[in-house]
Amino acid sequence: MIGRILMAVFSLCLLLATPALAHFGMVIPDSNLLGRPGVVNLDFRFWHPMEGQGMNLVKPAEAGVFTKGKKTSLLTALKEKKVNGFTTWQGQYRVKAPGDYIFYMIPQPYWEPSEDCFIIHYTKTVVDALEAEEGWDEPVGLPMEIVPLTRPFGVYAGNNFCGQVLYKGKPLANATVEVEFYNADGKLKAPAGAYVAQLVKTDANGVFNWSMPWPGWWGFAALHTAEDFKLKHQGKDKDVELGGVFWIYAHPALSSETGR
Amino acid sequence: MRQATSVIFFCLIMAVAGLAQAHRTSVYAYVEGGWIKGEGYMPGGGKVSNQPVQLLDAGGKVLAETKTAQDGSFSLPVPNGQPPFQLVLNAGAGHRATFDLKPADFGVPEKPAAAQKPAPAAKQAPMAGVSAPELCVLVQQAVEKSLAPMRAQLAEMTARSEKASLKDIIGGLGWIAGLLGLAAYLKARKMAKGAR
C-alpha cells in the first residue's frame, strides 16, 4: 500500500517536473581558450543543465574533434564517471598546434517516456588554441547542427550569440531553439518554469539571436523531429527528436571600477 | 602612366599595411628532434612572413636569431643552456609576440627532485655538441624505444599466461576424468574376473 502511494507521488512529481525541464546534450571543456599547447579536458553528459537534474548518457555513438577539415575520434579513450549517480563521460585531447578545435558528440538515441519519443542531441563546442581564431565557423557535417555566426569565444556576458541552424546541411527555418544556462553549482533558482529553458525561433534563413545575460556556459538546442526515420520502442514506431546543440562560454562583463 | 602605377602601388602597400595593423600577431613553437620549430601567424588567419625571431634565455640574453619564412615558419637548433627560454617575434609597431618554452617542452622536469639519484649517464660528461635538455630527450627516446618491445612482450605474456591457466584447468579436468576412467575400467575388469 505504502509502495503504491509512493509510486503515485513519484509519478506525480515526474509529471509536474517534466514540462519545465529541457534536455541538453553537453560537451563542456575545462576552458574554451588555450594559451599554450596542452590538454583539453572534456565533460560529456546528457543533462537538465539549469535544474541540475541528471540523466544517464550511455557511451556515445561518436565523440571527437574536428579541426582543419579533419575529424579525430576520442571515443575509445572516454572514461565513465558517475555524477549524482548518473553516467557521464570524461574525455581528453592534447592540443599541439594553434587552431580552432570543434569538439562534438553523437549520442545513442535516448528513450524519453514523458515525451513518447527518442532524443538524439548532436552536441558541439569550440576551443580556440593559441589565438588561431580560424575554423570556428565551419560546419562539422552533423545531421543537425548549429553553426555559430558569432565567433564563439572571447564573448562577454550581455553579448549577442547569433547562430544558424542546419538540418542535413541546409538552413532550417522556423525551428525552435531552447536556451539554457549551465547552473553547475546549482546556486541559481529560476523564478518560474518559463525561465528554466528559454526559447527563440529561427528566421527564414535558419538564423537566431540571443543575448546571454550573465557569465557562464550557455547551451542552445535547436530541435526538429526527424522526417525520414522512426525508431522502435517495445515494437512500436516512435518519433525521433533531433537536436543541434551548441555550448558557448560568456566571460563576466568588464567593470570600469576594477578594470577587469 | 608610370606615376599613376606607383600611386596605385603605394595605395596598395598602405592598404596591406593597414590590414596588418588591424591584426594581432602571435607566435608558437614546439621542440622536436633537437630543433625548436615554430610559426608566426595572425589570429583569424594569415602568416607573419620575413620577420625576425629571437630566442632569449631567462635573463633576456639573445641566444639565437632567425627570420620567419614566407609561410610564417621558422626553426632554430635547441641551444646550450637551461630552459626556460622565450621566443620573441618582432613584426614592428606594436606587433611583438612572445612564446615561453618551458623545461617540460624539452623533456626536462620543472623542478628536478633533489632526492633523485643521478643516473649513471648523467655523471659522464655530455657529448660534444649535445645540450643537457637535448640529451634528456635523446635518453628518453632511447629508453622508450628499447622498452617498447619489452612492453609488448610483457603484454603478450600476460595474455598467454591467462590463456595457459584456462588450458591447464581443462587439461587437469581431462586428467582427472581419464584417471577415474582408468580406475573404473580396472575395477570393472577385476569384478568381471571375480564373476567368472
Which CATH number fits the domain that encloses residue B83? 2.60.40.10
Asked whether residue B124 carries a pLDDT value surpassing 60, the answer given is no
Same domain, B31 and B103: yes
Asked whether residue A218 carries a pLDDT value surpassing 50, the answer given is yes
Q: How far is B44 from chain A (nearest CA, A)?
A: 4
B83, B31 Cβ separation under 8 angstroms: no
B87 compared with B188, residue with greater pLDDT: B87
Question: Average pLDDT, stretch A78-88?
Answer: 97
Report B:73-102 residues touching A (Cβ under 8 A).
100
Residue A237's beta-bridge partner residues?
Answer: A232
**Residue B124 covered by a domain:** no
Q: Cβ B28–A133 below 8 Å, yes or no?
A: no
Contact list in B for residue A68 (CB cut-off 8 A) is none
How many angstroms separate the CA atoms of A95 and A106, rounded? 22
Q: What is the complex's ipTM, to 2 decimals?
A: 0.78
How many angstroms separate the CA atoms of A87 and A44, rounded? 9
Same domain, B101 and B173: no
Ramachandran region, residue B101 (left: φ > 0; alpha: ψ -120 to 50; beta: rest): beta
Nearest chain B residue (CA) to A131: B43
Q: pLDDT averaged over chain A?
A: 93
Asked whether residue A212 carries a pLDDT value surpassing 60, the answer given is yes
The domains of chain A, with CATH numbers, are 23-251 (2.60.40.10)
Q: How far is B169 from chain A (nearest CA, A)?
A: 33
For residue A119, give the nearest of A178, A66, A169 by alpha carbon: A178
A143 compared with B4, residue with greater pLDDT: A143
Q: Give the pLDDT confidence score for residue B38 in this predicted structure.
A: 94
Q: How far is B34 from chain A (nearest CA, A)?
A: 17
Q: Cβ B41–A36 below 8 Å, yes or no?
A: no
**Residue B157 covered by a domain:** yes
Cβ neighbours of residue B67 closer than 8 Å, sequence gap 6 or more: B50, B51, B52, B53, B74
Q: Does B45 touch chain A (CB under 8 A)?
A: yes
Q: Give the pLDDT confidence score for residue B181 in this predicted structure.
A: 86
Establish how many alpha carbons lie within 13 A of residue A111's alpha carbon, considering only the half-sphere containing its beta carbon: 8
A229, A241 Cβ separation under 8 angstroms: no
Phi/psi for B137 (5° steps) reads -65, -45
Tell me the per-residue pLDDT of B163-179, one tens digit each, with 9 for 90 and over. Answer: 445 556 667 778 888 88
Asked whether residue B159 carries a pLDDT value surpassing 60, the answer given is no
DSSP structure class, residue B78: P
The set of cell numbers assigned to A92 is 581528453
Provide the number of structural domains found in chain B. Answer: 2
Same domain, B136 and B104: no
Which domain does B51 fall in, by range?
A: 24-109
Q: Residue B84, preceding bond cis, omega within 30 degrees?
A: yes
Q: Give the pLDDT confidence score for residue B171 in this predicted structure.
A: 72
B63, B55 Cβ separation under 8 angstroms: yes
**Which residues of A have a CB under 8 Å from any CB of B?**
36-37, 96-98, 130-134
DSSP A149-168: SS-SSSEETT-EEEEEEEET
pLDDT range class, residue B182, cuts 50, 70, 90: confident
**Residue B41 covered by a domain:** yes
Minimal Cβ distance to A98: which of B24, B28, B100: B28
Q: Cβ A134–B30 below 8 Å, yes or no?
A: no
